[in-house]
Structure 1
Amino acid sequence: MSFFYHEYISQEQLDGFDKYKYSAIDTNPLSVYVLHPFWDVVVKILPKWIAPNLLTLSGFLLLVLNYILLAYYDFEFFASSPHQKHIPGWVWVVAGTLNFLAYTLDGVDGKQARRTGSSSPLGGTLVMTLPMSLYNVYRAYCSHTLKQSSLLQGLLPLFTPILLFVLCYLWGVRARGTILEVQPRLFYWLVGTYFSNITCKLIVCQMSCTRCQAFNWLLVPLIATVLAVCNGFVGEYEVQLLFALTTFVTLAHIHYGVCVVRQLCLHFRVRAFSLKKMNSE
């Protein structure tokens, strides 16, 4: 397995992780008076032997299950159309329940970490497998960067997501094919995976107080694909190309996530989904 292992985090970033301290203030009334009190009750029900990262991963898997469920019953996003085949009511009940449980697990994992004395930067980086809000991460990144560097450095993280949106727009609207009509879910998955990878790399930079790269090299095959599609070089093989690109990007993102988690586990001598420490040897 070491043949497939790659160290994505630099030594400078590892040194930055050593100095990282979690600091966040949530003043949202909904969070203060409803969500956090509810999570405080829920976390006390959980056994202390459950690792916080296991809660985070479980929440992510619930979201994946939710996506699969909705993709099966509403593949083309036509649920609100009067001509759409009726979707059973239980589907929406299950979808809402899965979302609620996933959000709850995401809310209690940090509390479980503090409760078990297992807080570490690893917990913060494990969210790379989850759908993240780029705005929140970018704001946290800028709060440090703009104090230490220039305005241009603070704007660098915006280049890659903007380029991603432009490329996806060109493919979905300007291309000669009808990819959004034929494979809307797959296209949605591709964009979401790209967005997740971009956000995750920004999380690493934000937590390690290091500069973010202006360009994500994972966009190179997307650039080549969009150029080929828009210039008519693909023809009837556009769907097959989408499948190939989505498979590649998904595997690349999984590889990134697994390798980063493993690298941080080795660095901090902890186990990702267990409260047991690694041997000191």
Structure 2
Amino acid sequence: MAIKYLNNDHIKGFDKYKYNSLDTSPVAVYVMHPFWNAVVKLYPMWLAPNLLTFVGFLFQVYLFLLVAYYDWDFFSNNRTRTDYQPIPNWVWYVAAICQFLGHTLDGTDGKQARRTGSSTPLGELFDHGSDSILCALMPIGLFSIFGKGFEDFGGSSWIFFATQWHIIGTFFITHWEKYLTGVLFLPWSYDFSQVAIVIVYLLTGIFGFEVWKVVLPLGIQFNYFFLGLCCAGAVVFSLPYSIYNISRAYQNGTGKNRSFNEAVSPLIPMILLLLISIFWALFSPTDILEHHTRIFLLTFSAIFSNITVRLIISQMSDTLAYANNSLMMLFGVAAFVVCVLGLAEYEVRILHGVFVIIQLLHFHYLVTVVNQLCDHFNIYAFSITSRPRQKNHVK
């Protein structure tokens, strides 16, 4: 019997779902949306919105893999490390193009859906599910611009760790906010950061990575300023705004009016994931975060994506979110075995093994959910053409 992750309550909830969002960002309203409105007119009417989403996703993944190929350990742009070759400037031009195309396709997929009359709940889930993966990949690509090493205006694995958590945490809080309010309030920082990343990649390609190894006024190194700006976008701007929207929804009775336990249950797996990742990084027998930074960041980021997608499904189907997550538990068991039992000689193998298993399980989850919704709505994931209705269609 095939595994099905969506139950009847989920399916029935998707049937009633209506998209509700609010985007008041000046960058989005006055720059991006007018640009996207012009771009979407160039698309043929047969072009499926989900295909735009997926191609944009692939551009971003290619960007990540390209930079990772030249700078797996984040030392290529450290001038004091003569054992590493600098990342070629052309890589940053390609990165800028991929970032721009990925953002453009992501911004026009919904417009194409409305233009062709092919909007479905699957489209939104597909879009936001892809974003949950990309919001973890994008900062990792940026880390290579500065590289590791304080002696050369770089960062440290712990700075990368903190920045990663601020960014994925912001994404999660935005969807937790919708889970409670019923409205997706798009953060002002989103489109601004997307445009800023393109500019940073272009400037790096033109002037070389050395352009960022400078000291700003008041003696602030640019690497601290940039990474600090990423964190400030979450703590100073996004989080207070989300709390305000949630509080107002409860006061006005315009939200879901969930009980305290129902409201906080989605936070539990994310908090546990944060604590487990800190625990493993702190008590690692081989300093795994420092020596295998990229794999460590990717591992807990994949779990974050799984937790977030499950939350998105709950909010769209108006069902209660689960307080547990099997991938997070697997990560916790691995951390316990390594750090408490002291299996230093096996730690790297365990991390890589857990990484592969988690990626495969998360991929299986995503594909299965997409197939279930395609079956239910009698559609193809990457085509506007409807498919024949299934006999076992869930009522």
**TM superposition score normalised by structure 1:** 0.94
Residue number in structure 1 paired with 2:130: 129
1:178 to 287, 290, 293: 287
1:181-200, aligned counterparts within 5 Å? 181-200=290-309
Identical aligned residues as a percent: 42
Measured after TM superposition, the shift of residue 280 of structure 1 is 2.7
Kindly indicate whether residue 139 of structure 2 is the aligned counterpart of residue 101 of structure 1. no
User: Is 265-274 or 77-86 further displaced after alignment?
Assistant: 77-86
Residue number in structure 1 paired with 2:345: 236
Partners of 1:266 and 1:123 in 2: CA distance: 14
- One-letter code aligned to 1:161: M
| 1:128-180 superposed Cα distances (whole Å, 9 cap, x missing partner) | 23335212111100114963321221111111111111111111122211212
Other structure's SS at 1:275 match: strand
Asked if the contact 1:129–1:257 (Cα under 8 Å) also holds between the matched residues in 2, the reply is no
Partners of 2:33 and 2:76 in 1: CA distance: 33
Deviating beyond 6 angstroms after TM superposition, the runs of 4 or more aligned structure 1 residues are none
Asked if the contact 2:77–2:86 (Cα under 8 Å) also holds between the matched residues in 1, the reply is no
1:180-259, aligned counterparts within 5 Å? 180-259=289-368
Partners of 1:147 and 1:209 in 2: CA distance: 9
Asked if the contact 2:180–2:257 (Cα under 8 Å) also holds between the matched residues in 1, the reply is no
Any unmatched runs of 5+ in structure 1? none
Asked if the contact 1:76–1:181 (Cα under 8 Å) also holds between the matched residues in 2, the reply is no
Count of aligned residue pairs for this structure pair: 278
Measured after TM superposition, the shift of residue 235 of structure 1 is 2.0
Measured after TM superposition, the shift of residue 80 of structure 1 is 4.9
Root-mean-square deviation (CA), in Å? 1.6
Other structure's SS at 1:253 match: helix
| 1:23-43 superposed Cα distances (whole Å, 9 cap, x missing partner) | 112111111000000101111
1:81-100, aligned counterparts within 5 Å? 81-84=78-81, 85-100=85-100
Residue number in structure 1 paired with 2:67: 70
Measured after TM superposition, the shift of residue 77 of structure 1 is 2.2
Measured after TM superposition, the shift of residue 240 of structure 1 is 0.8
Residue number in structure 1 paired with 2:265: 156
- One-letter code aligned to 2:88: P
Asked if the contact 2:50–2:109 (Cα under 8 Å) also holds between the matched residues in 1, the reply is yes
Residue number in structure 1 paired with 2:211: none
1:35 to 32, 35, 39: 32
Partners of 1:130 and 1:259 in 2: CA distance: 18
- One-letter code aligned to 2:263: G
**TM superposition score normalised by structure 2:** 0.68
Partners of 1:24 and 1:255 in 2: CA distance: 29
Bigger relative contact order, structure 1 or 2, given CA contacts below 8 A and separation 6+? 1
Other structure's SS at 2:41 match: helix
- One-letter code aligned to 1:120: T
Partners of 1:266 and 1:105 in 2: CA distance: 25
Partners of 2:122 and 2:327 in 1: CA distance: 23
- One-letter code aligned to 1:275: I
Kindly indicate whether residue 144 of structure 2 is the aligned counterpart of residue 143 of structure 1. no
Measured after TM superposition, the shift of residue 79 of structure 1 is 5.0
Measured after TM superposition, the shift of residue 272 of structure 1 is 0.5
Asked if the contact 1:159–1:214 (Cα under 8 Å) also holds between the matched residues in 2, the reply is yes
Measured after TM superposition, the shift of residue 72 of structure 1 is 1.1
- One-letter code aligned to 1:103: H
Partners of 1:190 and 1:96 in 2: CA distance: 25
